[in-house]
Amino acid sequence: MLKIVAFLARFMAVLGGLVLSALVILTCVSVLGRGLNTLGHSELLQGLSEAAAGALLATGVGPIMGDFELVEAGVAFSIFAFLPITQLYSAHATVDVFTAALPRRANKVLVTFWEVVLTAVILLISARLFAGLQSKMAYGETTFLLQFPIWWAYAASFAASVVAVIVAVYCALARIAGLVTGRSFLPHSEGASH
C-alpha cells in the first residue's frame, strides 16, 4: 500500500512542479512583455528613435492577457498537488521547542494526534472545495479576462485534494498502527528543515 500512496504523492508533486514551472515562465514572459511595451511608449525611446519605438510596439509586445487569472488557478492547484508528498514525508513545518524534552513515546502520541487532526482538516478543506466546485458549476461563473469557467480551476484543485485526502488517511492510519505496534509504516523522514 505504501508504494501506491508514495507513487500518487510523487506523481502529484511532479505535476504540481510542472504547473508551477509553467506559471513561472508565464509570469516572466508577461513581465518582459509589459516592460518592452512600456519601453516602446517611453519618452526615452521615442526621443532616440520614433521608428524603433514604433517597430517595437508594432510587434504587439505586451503582457500576456489573463496572466493573473492563470497564475491564481495554477497556484491553487500546485498547493494541493504538493500537499500529499509533504504529508507522506512529514515535511510540514513544526515547532518542537517544548516537545523536544518529552519522552519518545509522548512525542509519538503527539505526532499521531496531530496527524489525525491534519487529516480531518484536509478532508474538511476537500469537502468545502467540492461544495465550491458545485456552486461554480451551477452558476456558470467565468474569469473576467479569459472567460474560462472558474469551475475548471476548482476541479483541478479538487482532484489534487482527493489525492491529498487519500495520502493523509493512509498516513493517519499508519501513525496509529505504528503507535500500537511499534513498527513504522511510513517512509523515513527528518521532517521539515529548521
Q: Which three cell numbers stand for residue 100?
A: 523536544
DSSP 42-64: SHHHHHH-HHHHHHHHHTT--PP
Q: In whole angstroms, give the CA distance from residue 194 to residue 181.
A: 30
pLDDT tens, residue by residue, 136-150:
999 999 999 999 999
Cell 513504522 locates to 184
pLDDT tens, residue by residue, 102-142:
898 998 899 999 999 999 999 999 999 999 999 999 999 99
State residue 76's pLDDT score.
95
Q: Contact, 91 vs 186, CB < 8 A?
A: no
pLDDT tens, residue by residue, 156-176:
999 999 999 999 999 999 999
| Amino acid identity for residue 122 in this structure | I
Average pLDDT, the chain: 91
State residue 83's pLDDT score.
95
Answer whether residue 24 shows pLDDT above 80.
yes
Q: Contact, 177 vs 170, CB < 8 A?
A: no
